[in-house]
Structures are given as structure tokens and as C-alpha cells.
């Protein structure tokens, strides 16, 4: 799909251009700058994937975007976010200041830098990997189990947001700060709409109660 290739190229270009912009601003060595830029790009793409999924479940984009297209973009963006997470973590192996190891990038809470916040990010990465892999497991585990497993995406999003806010060094930048706010507001609004629609569907599916029989008139003795 041409738009998929274009989107992939765009996000990778944005990551590396952002890294060199950080480097030009004297904000750190190139591996650290690449990690920061790809991390921000990964969260942006993850947000877009979550939004696409919510557009499907809420039917908010029906009549504007075709559902097959929205689902394809939902799946594609999940893959892109996982790749960018790999770039985000892998580039830290080449950073000579923090001394990350392969183990500290895949095991939560043993990072030499902000272990709690980075550990939450590691968990987010694993959750994204699980939900992304689930696209190819759907036929084996069934639609119902797949949908249940897919709710893990929300945990991945919250963990990714927490990681970005508390482990990231660019949260104080206005574009990053307001990007987090916009992301959270959009996902929260669509999730609220989804919950409201789910409750409405339950009420519609609930069987109607049979009418209460009227009390029999009392018999008058002769």
C-alpha cells in the first residue's frame, strides 16, 4: 500500500531529522538524540494507532473513511510504533554516557537511568509487541479472545505516556508537552464515547421485563 510506505518513510525521516536537530542544538550525542526523537515519534504513532482503533469501535469515522482502510492503518501504525520503539531502545546501546545493556532494555526496572520510569517504558514496549502480534493470531485464538487481548493496547498507551512524561527529557518543551495533552484528550474523548456506546448496546440487548400482572380483584362475599 503506497500510503503505508509513505507513512513509514515519513516517521523514520522525522525521527532522524529530529535527532540531528537535537544534535545541532547541542542537546546530546547522536545516539541519545536518535533515541529521544524516535521515542517521541513512537508515541505519536502509537497514539494514531489507538485513535484508529477507537474510530472503528465507536464508528466515529463511518461515512468519512472506509472501515477497511481505518483497520489497515490501525494495524500498520501498530507495526510502525513497534519498529520505532526498537529504534528508541536500540540506539541507547550506542550511548556512551548512560551505559545501557541489552538486558536493561528488555527487563523492567533494572535500567541505570530512572529505573522506574524506564521500566514502565519497557513494559509498554512488550505490551505493544503483544498487541501487534495479535493481528496475526486472530484466526487462531478467535475474534472474541482477540478483542479481549486487544484491550491491552490501552495499558500500553498509558504506560507509554507515563514513560514519556517521567523518563523523557523533552517534556518541558511546549510542542512535546502540548502533544501529550492533545494525545490524552483525544484518546480520553474517544474512549468515553466508546464506553457510552457499549452501555447503550447492553441496554438494547437486555431482554424486556414481562409486565407485572395486575392484582386480581377481590371477590365480594354474598
Read off the pLDDT of residues 113-151 as tens digits, 9 standing for 90 and up: 999 999 999 999 999 999 999 899 888 888 888 888 888
* Structural domain count of the chain: 1
Question: Using N-to-C axis directions, what is the helix angle for 152-167 and 143-150, rounded to 10°?
Answer: 20
Q: Please list, in sequence order, all residues whose beta carbon lies within 8 angstroms of the beta carbon of residue 210, skipping any fewer than 6 positions away.
A: none
Report yes or no on 85 lying in a domain.
yes
How far is it, in rounded angstroms, from Cα 84 to Cα 17?
Answer: 14
Average predicted confidence (pLDDT) for the chain = 83
Inside any domain, residue 185: yes
Report the SS3 class of residue 109: coil
Q: Cell digits for 61?
A: 469515522
Decide: 46 and 187 in contact? Cβ < 8 Å: no
The verdict on residue 210 lying in a domain is no
Spatial distance between the Cα atoms of 88 and 40, rounded to a whole number of angstroms: 9
pLDDT in tens, 58-100: 888 888 888 899 999 999 999 999 999 999 999 998 887 888 8
Position 206 in a domain: no
Contact predicate 159/127, CB 8 Å: yes
213 within some domain: no
Domain annotation covers residue 220 = no
Considering the entire predicted model, what is its pTM? 0.80
Range of the domain at 9: 2-198
CATH number of 179's domain: 1.20.120
Q: Is the model more confident about 149 or about 160? A: 160
Which run of H or E residues covers position 105?
helix 102-106
Amino acid at each position: 500500500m503506497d500510503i503505508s510506505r509513505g507513512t513509514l518513510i515519513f516517521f523514520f525521516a522525522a525521527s532522524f531529522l529530529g535527532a540531528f536537530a537535537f544534535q545541532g542544538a547541542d542537546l546530546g550525542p547522536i545516539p541519545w538524540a536518535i533515541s529521544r526523537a524516535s521515542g517521541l515519534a513512537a508515541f505519536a504513532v502509537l497514539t494514531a494507532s489507538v485513535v484508529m482503533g477507537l474510530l472503528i469501535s465507536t464508528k466515529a469515522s463511518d461515512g468519512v473513511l472506509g472501515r477497511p482502510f481505518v483497520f489497515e492503518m490501525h494495524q500498520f501504525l501498530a507495526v510502525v510504533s513497534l519498529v520505532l520503539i526498537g529504534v528508541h531502545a536500540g540506539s541507547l546501546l550506542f550511548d556512551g554516557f548512560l551505559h545501557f545493556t541489552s538486558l536493561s532494555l528488555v527487563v523492567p526496572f533494572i535500567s541505570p537511568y530512572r529505573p522506574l520510569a524506564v521500566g514502565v517504558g519497557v513494559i509498554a514496549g512488550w505490551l505493544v509487541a503483544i498487541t501487534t502480534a495479535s493481528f496475526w493470531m486472530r484466526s487462531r485464538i478467535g475474534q472474541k479472545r482477540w478483542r479481549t487481548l486487544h484491550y491491552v493496547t490501552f495499558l500500553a498507551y498509558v504506560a507509554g505516556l507515563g514513560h514519556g512524561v517521567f523518563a523523557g527529557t523533552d517534556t518541558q518543551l511546549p510542542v512535546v508537552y502540548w502533544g501529550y495533552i492533545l494525545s490524552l484528550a483525544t484518546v480520553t474523548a474517544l474512549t468515553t464515547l466508546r464506553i457510552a456506546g457499549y452501555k447503550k448496546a447492553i441496554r438494547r440487548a437486555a431482554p424486556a421485563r414481562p409486565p407485572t400482572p395486575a392484582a386480581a380483584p377481590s371477590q365480594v362475599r354474598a
